[in-house]
Amino acid sequence: MDMDNLSTIILGGALFVIMLGMGLSLRTEDFKRIVLYPKAIFLGLFNQLLLLPLIGLLIAVTITSTPEIAVGIMILAACPGGPTSNLISFMAKGDLALSVSLTAISSLITIITIPFIVLFSLEYFLGTSQEIELNIFAMIAQIFVIVVIPIGIGMMIRRFKTSFAERMGRPVRIASGIVLALIIVGLVVKERANVTDYLNQAGAATLLLNVITMAIGYYSAKLLRLRKEAAISIAIESGIQNGTLAITIAVVLLQNSALAIAPAVYSILMFITGGVMIFFFGKRTT
């Protein structure tokens, strides 16, 4: 078995574990919050599904100097939040229920939006969309398989084996973090000849994407007079994306590890900015 096939299997397995872990934390009630708390839900989804890709495109056009980094930024901007955003929201004393709901709903919606954004990016920056244009429905099906099925399995386990699901939540999160770290190391080793240039180019772009979208998320929530806890969660959901899904799309679906450099750099930086959020907001006593 060659290294590309091995990395594909590892990435697929890692993403399955991560999305299964997300499913273990979800209940059907989480999807009902779109009716119960429409203003917060719709603001979070608007920021993530519309503003984030637009900001990503602006950064990709103006900041990045290589098309691979630009496409990587767009893949990131197309992805939903992930379990990491829920964990950071919890530690920053945000509205955890809102965070989980936004992650769950956006994960379903982006099954449709990711292929269109990715294909547009490939055409705009690389001029290669023509050769995969007819596979857009195949990409939708692939994303459905790697996102929805493990989430569904996790939710079924939580429904029928609640105590087991609660016990497994923490180990799955730890395992996910370890595997993500190994994936990032593997990508760096594979692209070692270009890694310094990629880091220099992707560092500023990914940090800007992260910080700008979190700031917009927080202050747009304050503008609509949402509670501080909701504003914190919307900021985190707007700015913390599912880096593992972005890397999987680049390496497994598009079979181009260079497109995964920006998501890999982002996956490191988001823990730093997330830590800043936890530091400033997590100390609150109310």
**pLDDT per residue as tens digits for the range 240-269:** 888 878 888 888 788 887 888 888 888 878
Output the six-digit token pair for 66. 């290589």
Which is more confidently placed, 162 or 240? 240
b/e per residue 237-259 (b: at least 16 CB within 10 A): bbbbbbbbbbbbbbbbbbebbbb
In a domain, 286, yes or no: no
Residue 285 is assigned to a structural domain of this protein: no
CATH of the domain at 13: 1.20.1530.20
Instruction: Categorize the per-residue pLDDT at 195 as very low, low, confident or very high, splitting at 50, 70 and 90.
Output: low
Helices (H) and strands (E) in the chain, counts: 13, 0
Given a contact cutoff of 8 angstroms between Cβ atoms, the answer to whether 80 and 16 are in contact is: no
Contact 11, 252 (CB under 8 A): yes
Backbone angles phi, psi at 207, to 5 degrees: -65, -40
Closest CA to 99 of 219, 223, 207, 231: 231
Is residue 24 within 8 A of residue 169, CB to CB? The reply is: yes
pLDDT of residue 130: 42
The candidate with the shortest Cα–Cα distance to 147, out of 183, 114, 107, is: 107
Please indicate whether residue 121 or residue 181 has the higher confidence score (pLDDT).
121
> Looking at per-residue confidence, does 31 or 120 come out higher?
120
pLDDT, mean of residues 27-45? 77
Specify which of 84-93, 106-115, 223-232, 260-269 reaches the highest per-range mean pLDDT. 223-232
pLDDT value at residue 51: 93
Q: What is the pLDDT of residue 2?
A: 41
Q: Do the domain assignments include residue 247?
A: yes
Q: What is the pTM for the complete model shown? A: 0.76
Phi/psi of residue 40, nearest 5 degrees: -70, -40
Q: Between 243 and 189, where is the model more confident?
A: 243
CA of 92: how far to CAs of 89, 113, 260, 281, in Å? 5, 29, 28, 5
What percentage of the chain has pLDDT greater than the value 70? Answer: 74
* 123 found inside a domain: yes
> What does the pLDDT read at residue 72?
92
Residue 233 domain-assigned?
A: yes
Which residue range is the domain that position 74 belongs to? 3-278
Q: How many domains does the chain have?
A: 1
Provide mean pLDDT across the span 39-50: 91
**For position 196, what pLDDT does the model report?**
72
* Predicted local confidence at residue 45, as pLDDT: 92
Buried b (16+ CB within 10 A) or exposed e, 25-43: bbeeebeebbeebeebbeb
Per the domain annotation, does 65 fall within a domain? yes
Residue 286 or 19, more confident: 19
Q: Which two tokens stand for residue 160?
A: 């029928």
Q: Within a domain: residue 44?
A: yes
- Which pair of structure tokens corresponds to residue 171? 């180990």
Q: Which of 50-54, 97-101, 193-197, 230-234 has the lowest mean pLDDT?
A: 193-197
For residue 25, being part of any structural domain is answered with: yes
Q: Rounded to whole angstroms, what are the CA distances from 104 to 9, 44, 147, 184, 215?
A: 25, 12, 10, 25, 22
Average pLDDT of the residues of the chain: 78
List, for residues 204-229, the tens digit of each pLDDT value: 899 999 999 999 999 999 999 898 88
Q: Are 176 and 18 contacting, i.e. CB atoms less than 8 angstroms apart?
A: yes
